[in-house]
Amino acid sequence: MNSAEIITVGDELLIGQTVDTNSAWMGMQLSMRGIKVNRITSISDRREEIISALDEALGRAPLVLMTGGLGPTSDDITKETLAEYFGSRLVEDREVLAEITERITRRNLEMNENNRRQAMVPEICRVLANHAGTAPGMLFEKEGRIIVSMPGVPSEMKHIMQEHVLPLVSAMAGGRTIVHRNIMTYGTFEAKLAERLEGFERELHPAVKLAYLPAHGVIKLRLTGSGDDGDELHRIVEKQVRKLYTIIPDIIYGEDEVTLEETVGKLLLSNNLTISTAESCTGGKIASLLTSVPGSSAWFRGSVVAYDNSVKTGLLGVDPETISRHGAVSEETAREMAKGILRLVKTDFAIAVTGIAGPDGGTPDKPIGMVWIAVASAKGVIAEKHRFADDRMINISRSSYTALNLLRKQIISR
Amino acid sequence: MNSAEIITVGDELLIGQTVDTNSAWMGMQLSMRGIKVNRITSISDRREEIISALDEALGRAPLVLMTGGLGPTSDDITKETLAEYFGSRLVEDREVLAEITERITRRNLEMNENNRRQAMVPEICRVLANHAGTAPGMLFEKEGRIIVSMPGVPSEMKHIMQEHVLPLVSAMAGGRTIVHRNIMTYGTFEAKLAERLEGFERELHPAVKLAYLPAHGVIKLRLTGSGDDGDELHRIVEKQVRKLYTIIPDIIYGEDEVTLEETVGKLLLSNNLTISTAESCTGGKIASLLTSVPGSSAWFRGSVVAYDNSVKTGLLGVDPETISRHGAVSEETAREMAKGILRLVKTDFAIAVTGIAGPDGGTPDKPIGMVWIAVASAKGVIAEKHRFADDRMINISRSSYTALNLLRKQIISR
């Protein structure tokens, strides 16, 4: 079992209303476990399409993962078609029904016919519980081949994959060992990083491959080792990882899929420190990132989103004179915002950001993408000027992550 | 010529390093011109894969659009494979070579072997000039069927589609028209909505199909009409849309791809109103959503993220007595938070949210997912209690969108 196919079902994929992100996620998960994806096929919600795509995929691979077409509405026909394909009838699954009933009643709603329909599953399948939604996953076996059908909602698909499918896949992959290590970096760009790693790449152990995976300013370096001797392979990959830490210590912030906000949260927690933010152009994004981390109430106290200058002066205590002399987007304003929130919320550290996100508001002196970031603590305030992009969403995102990275460095070097 | 298939070529698609966004874009362009996409297939950069995928696609559709595998490096083999498939040899195209030379020298670089290779095309094809990059598109005809191969870089693919392929497609499609309308809803879930639309679906005009596309609590209703008479079809679909507005007026917040935050922003702008937020469990997410809308500085003033109770009492002026008597997650606290931020930032409306996002902090009385949402204005404060999910990110997201939706209703009924 070392190859697989993916079938995504839904008219919305074919007419381009939805981009199929499920396939890439599943492909990556499978490939990390040594399973090669031969082909990804997207088809419409039609019985004949589902049957022929399934026939073809099973002719090429022993594992077929399907998503989509499991909703409660009449255009979703994957379940009925699979029941037919495997010559099975739909029966009500008591556990699924109980879980749906619980989900519905907990929300003070009443069960209806469509909810009940979601508890019907082909008698022959193994039900894969979906704790992230109402449509369960289904696993079928046919002549030594495995077919899994999952909902198309990404969070539900991921839940079922992680809970049920990936453990099975790992067990089946057997034999050859594949070792992945992800080194997370922030604060440089791909071409620059590749330059710094030229020697590293030249001397890379032949059993190990290096990939650059950039996304939203973070560049994930993925080391993939493959070989027959698992222990030996782990040693080889570990040695390469340690080497990376000596070459680019300044930009590595963590490993595996850790985010910058999680890293910052761990640092704050382990050092018993607290944080607050004062945000203008990021509009609450930094606070939102920090509070996305479970348990953040232990180290995050609060924020002021000071979009309007009246909030900068009124709440954060920025001197109106500072704004009129240097502008709302200036080093001075950023520094006063940081000191203001530190005083107001009484935390050990404070982040402040003010900039021009765009699309309007740019001037020759202060173009779109110009941002001032300040980090304050009892020891004082430091401030950095950055110039990001022409795009509003990129500017908000880069400003936020760059601020978190600056905070991270300040905590470490404290 | 009213159906097509899409083939995307590249190992990076199968191992999940790249999400295939090309297919969705092409699918939408074709569908808007009345061409139905049967199937999207993603395959690896292997000769046999390309040949078999092409054979299969041509067996089902008269038009096949391919992207990918046209780069200058050795892993890109689409062009060579197509030459072989169509029994043609590669020849140097003088115009393409001239254009590549011009592009290269303009950037002060020297032509090399890889650049020259890009000017080689199968003798039999029609070259589709690529003014956005170096690899040209190629059009082949075989037994009345058309095959187009384009680079995988989205900007280059789009350029060739717009310049060459779409005009051809429009000419070929002739007659048949397809009309899409998207109705955006919030505030219910799919099964419940399907129940309310049972009669609507039963009486749906035979030329029109209805699809439910749920994502993050928003359910997009897609009406797709197809027919020969374009004007008549637009009238038919429009009539169905108007009918939807009479059946579910309470949950429709907009059309096409509009987001709830954009709708709220438009409403605030056109009514000359301002907004602020006081956020506990949403941690700045609502502010972040609102400020993601370009031009939001016209109606968004600022926020206080009051994660710690000291910020609720100190900054927002919530009575410590209220928190000790009713708890931080209570109707009373939500109301006082909303009034507090309204007074502090002086806006026309204010949103406040306090709840238990999880994973910790739940009690039998106040379980994870319980959230109080308040909206305040000069007319007073209204508050709603909700119970969402067990998942932290879902709770933050649903609380935020539900708060925006409550605000939307308050503005409308003002």
Percent pLDDT > 90 in chain A is: 75
Task: Give the model's pLDDT for residue A288.
Answer: 98
Q: Find out whether B373 and B402 touch, Cβ atoms under 8 Å.
A: yes
Is residue B28 located within the same domain as residue B147? Answer: yes
Q: Which domain, by its residues, includes B372?
A: 260-412
Q: Find out whether B351 and B275 touch, Cβ atoms under 8 Å.
A: yes
Distances (CA, A) of B29 to A16, A382, B26: 8, 50, 5
Give the integer Cα–Cα distance in Å for B113 and B353: 62
Task: Give the model's pLDDT for residue B42.
Answer: 98
Find the closest chain B residue to A7 by CA distance: B41
Residue B325 has pLDDT above 80, yes or no: yes
Find the closest chain B residue to A57 by CA distance: B41
Residues on chain A touching B275 (C-beta within 8 angstroms):
none
Task: Give the model's pLDDT for residue A351.
Answer: 98
Q: How many residues does chain B have?
A: 414
CA B318 to chain A, closest CA, distance in angstroms equals 15
Q: Find out whether A233 and A177 touch, Cβ atoms under 8 Å.
A: yes
Is residue B164 located within the same domain as residue B187? Answer: no
Partner-chain residue, chosen from A284, A315, A345, that has the shortest CB–CB distance to B287: A284
What are the pLDDT digits (tens) for B339-378? Answer: 999 999 999 999 999 999 999 999 999 999 999 999 999 9
Residues on chain A touching B7 (C-beta within 8 angstroms):
none
What are the pLDDT digits (tens) for B5-47? Answer: 999 999 889 988 889 999 999 999 998 787 899 999 999 999 9
Is residue A214 located within the same domain as residue A295? Answer: no
Residues on chain A touching B359 (C-beta within 8 angstroms):
294
Distances (CA, A) of A266 to A261, A276, B271: 9, 15, 44
What are the pLDDT digits (tens) for A73-102? Answer: 778 899 999 999 999 999 999 999 998 888
Residues on chain B touching A28 (C-beta within 8 angstroms):
15-17
Number of folded domains that form chain B: 3
What are the pLDDT digits (tens) for A369-401? Answer: 999 999 999 999 999 999 998 889 989 999 999
Task: Give the model's pLDDT for residue B224.
Answer: 87
How many of the other CB atoms lie within 10 Å of CB of B163? 15
Give the integer Cα–Cα distance in Å for B88 and A63: 37
Question: How high does pLDDT run on average in chain B?
Answer: 92
Task: Give the model's pLDDT for residue B12.
Answer: 87
CB–CB of B315 and A311 under 8 A?
no
CB-defined contacts A:B, below 8 A? 280
Is residue B35 located within the same domain as residue B161? Answer: yes
The pLDDT-based confidence of A114 (bands split at 50, 70, 90) is confident
CA B44 to chain A, closest CA, distance in angstroms equals 7
Is residue B218 located within the same domain as residue B345? Answer: no
Give the integer Cα–Cα distance in Å for A314 and B25: 47
* Token pair 């980090």: residue: A375
Task: Give the model's pLDDT for residue B103.
Answer: 78
Task: Give the model's pLDDT for residue A163.
Answer: 94
Task: Give the model's pLDDT for residue A174.
Answer: 66
Residues on chain B touching A43 (C-beta within 8 angstroms):
38-39
Which CATH number fits the domain that encloses residue B120? 3.40.980.10
Is residue A222 located within the same domain as residue A268? Answer: no
Query: Crossing angle of helices B166-173/B22-32, nearest 10°?
Result: 40
Task: Give the model's pLDDT for residue B175.
Answer: 60
Q: Stretch B178-200: mean pLDDT, rounded?
A: 92
What are the pLDDT digits (tens) for B107-124? Answer: 667 777 777 888 999 999
Task: Give the model's pLDDT for residue B174.
Answer: 66
CA A245 to chain B, closest CA, distance in angstroms equals 24
What are the pLDDT digits (tens) for B275-298? Answer: 999 999 999 999 999 999 999 999
Distances (CA, A) of B49 to A40, A262, B10, B24: 12, 42, 11, 22
Partner-chain residue, chosen from B31, B44, B300, that has the shortest CB–CB distance to A16: B31
CB–CB of A303 and B302 under 8 A?
no
Is residue A363 located within the same domain as residue A273? Answer: yes
Decide which of A255, A283, A314 is a domain's last residue: A255
Is residue B165 located within the same domain as residue B20? Answer: yes
How many of the other CB atoms lie within 10 Å of CB of A109? 14
Q: Stretch A313-335: mean pLDDT, rounded?
A: 97
Is residue A231 located within the same domain as residue A366? Answer: no
Interstrand relation of B3-9 and B63-67 (parallel, antiparallel or unpaired): parallel
* Token pair 């950069």: residue: B45
What is the 3-class SS of A37-60, one letter each residue?
EEEEEEECCCHHHHHHHHHHHHHH
Residues on chain A touching B212 (C-beta within 8 angstroms):
71, 73, 75
Is residue A40 located within the same domain as residue A144? Answer: yes
Residues contacting residue A206 through CB under 8 Å, at least 6 positions apart: none
What are the pLDDT digits (tens) for B193-242? Answer: 999 999 999 999 999 989 888 888 899 998 988 888 888 999 999 999 99
Partner-chain residue, chosen from A39, A43, A393, that has the shortest CB–CB distance to B43: A39
Q: Find out whether A165 and A30 touch, Cβ atoms under 8 Å.
A: no
Which CATH number fits the domain that encloses residue A223? 3.30.70.2860
Q: Find out whether A349 and A274 touch, Cβ atoms under 8 Å.
A: yes
Task: Give the model's pLDDT for residue B304.
Answer: 98
CB–CB of A315 and B292 under 8 A?
no
What are the pLDDT digits (tens) for A183-239? Answer: 999 998 877 888 899 999 999 999 998 888 777 789 989 898 888 888 899 999 999
Give the integer Cα–Cα distance in Å for B333 and B313: 10
The larger pLDDT score, comparing residue A408 to residue A391, is at A408
What are the pLDDT digits (tens) for A327-375? Answer: 999 999 999 999 999 999 999 999 999 999 999 989 999 999 999 999 9
Residues on chain A touching B39 (C-beta within 8 angstroms):
14, 41-44, 49, 53
Residues on chain B touching A283 (C-beta within 8 angstroms):
287-288, 290-292, 296, 300
The larger pLDDT score, comparing residue B408 to residue B118, is at B408
CB–CB of A37 and B43 under 8 A?
no
Distances (CA, A) of A61 to A35, A122, B50, B183: 11, 23, 17, 39
The pLDDT-based confidence of A175 (bands split at 50, 70, 90) is low
Q: Which of A16-20, A32-36, B333-337 shows the highest mean pLDDT?
A: B333-337
Is residue B236 located within the same domain as residue B268? Answer: no
Which CATH number fits the domain that encloses residue A265? 3.90.950.20
Q: Which two tokens stand for residue A244?
A: 């990376």
CA B16 to chain A, closest CA, distance in angstroms equals 4
Give the integer Cα–Cα distance in Å for B215 and B260: 12
Question: How high does pLDDT run on average in chain A?
Answer: 93
CB–CB of B315 and A42 under 8 A?
no
CB–CB of B297 and A285 under 8 A?
no
Decide which of B117, B148, B173 is a domain's last residue: B173
Is the ipTM value over 0.85, yes or no?
no
Give the integer Cα–Cα distance in Å for B158 and B150: 9
Is residue A248 located within the same domain as residue A266? Answer: no
CA B161 to chain A, closest CA, distance in angstroms equals 15
Find the closest chain B residue to A102 by CA distance: B389
Task: Give the model's pLDDT for residue A341.
Answer: 98
Q: Which one of A41, A73, A156, A315 makes the best mutation probe of the B interface by having the most chain B beta carbons within 10 Å?
A: A73
CA B399 to chain A, closest CA, distance in angstroms equals 13
Task: Give the model's pLDDT for residue B1.
Answer: 61
CA B14 to chain A, closest CA, distance in angstroms equals 6
CA B92 to chain A, closest CA, distance in angstroms equals 32
Residues contacting residue B212 through CB under 8 Å, at least 6 positions apart: A71, A73, A75, B190, B193, B194, B219, B220, B221, B222
Distances (CA, A) of B80 to A215, B77, B93, B120, B262: 32, 5, 15, 9, 48
What are the pLDDT digits (tens) for B374-387? Answer: 999 999 999 999 99
Decide which of B191, B222, B255 is a domain's last residue: B255
